[in-house]
Structure 1
Amino acid sequence: MPLEGIVPPLVTPLIDDQTLDLEALKELVDRMLEAGVHGLFVLGTTGECTSLSYSLRRQLIEEVCGMVQGRVPVLVGITDTAPDESVALTDFAKRVGAAAVVAAPPYYFGLSQPELVTYFERLADRLSLPLFLYNMPSHTKTMISVETVVALSRHPNIVGFKDSSANGGYLHALIYAFRDRPEFSIFVGPEEMMASSVLMGAHGGVSGGANIFPKLYVDLYHAAKANDKESIVTLQAKVMEISAKIYALGTYGSSYLKGLKGAMSLLGLCQNVLAAPHTAFGEADMEKLKRNLESIEGV
Structure 2
Amino acid sequence: MNPLTGVVPPVCTPLTPDREIDVHSLLRLVDHLIDGGVAGLFVLGSTSEAAFLTDRQRRLVVETVALHVGGRLPVLAGVIDMTTPRVLDQVSRAAAAGADAVVATAPFYAATHPAELARHFRLIAAGSPVPVIAYDIPAAVHTKLPSDLVLKLAAEGVLAGLKDSSGDLAGFREVVTGVRDRSDISGFSVLTGSELFVDAALELGADGAVPGLANVDPHGYVRLDRLCRAGDRHRARAEQERLCALYGMVRAGDPARMGGSSSALGAFKAALHLRGVIDCPATAHPQVPLTPDEVARVGKFLATAGLL
What does residue range 23-38 of structure 1 map to in structure 2 within 5 Å?
23-38=24-39
Correspondence for 1:248: 251
Alignment of 1:7-156 (within 5 A): 7-16=8-17, 18-156=19-157
Instruction: Give the match for residue 289 of structure 1.
Output: 298
Bigger mean CA offset, 134-143 vs 217-226: 217-226
Q: With structure 1 as the length reference, what TM-score do the two structures score?
A: 0.94
Q: Which letter maps to 2:91?
A: T
Unaligned residue ranges in structure 1 (runs of 5+): none
Letter in 1 for 2:287: H
Alignment deviations for residues 186-245 of structure 1 (CA, whole Å, 9 cap, x no partner): 00001112121111110000011111111111111111112111220221121111112x
Structure 1 residue identity aligned to 2:264: Y
Asked if structure 2 preserves the Cα contact closer than 8 Å seen for 1:132 and 1:162, the reply is yes
Of residues 218, 222, 243 in structure 1, which corresponds to 2:222?
218
Q: CA deviation at 1:117?
A: 1.0
AA partner of residue 275 (structure 1): A
Residue 289 of structure 1: how far off its partner (Å): 2.2
Partner letter of residue 214 of structure 1? P
Correspondence 1:267 to 2:268 = no
Instruction: State percent identity of aligned pairs.
Output: 31
- 1:235 is aligned to 239
Alpha carbons 2:275, 2:307 under 8 Å: kept: no
Helix, strand or coil at the partner of 2:155: coil
Q: Which runs of 5+ in 2 are unaligned?
A: none
The amino acid of 1:285's aligned partner reads E
Q: What secondary structure does 2:289 align onto? A: coil
Where do 4+ consecutive residues of structure 1 move more than 6 Å? none
Alignment RMSD, CA only?
Answer: 1.7
What does 1:144-183 align with in structure 2 at a 5 Å threshold? Answer: 144-180=145-181, 181=185, 183=187
SS at match of 1:45: coil
Question: How far, CA to CA, are the matches of 2:300 and 2:4 in structure 1?
Answer: 37
Aligned partners of 1:135 and 1:162 also within 8 Å? yes
2:197 is aligned to 193
The number of residues matched between the two structures is: 298
Q: Is the CA contact 2:62–2:94 (under 8 Å) kept in the aligned structure 1?
A: yes
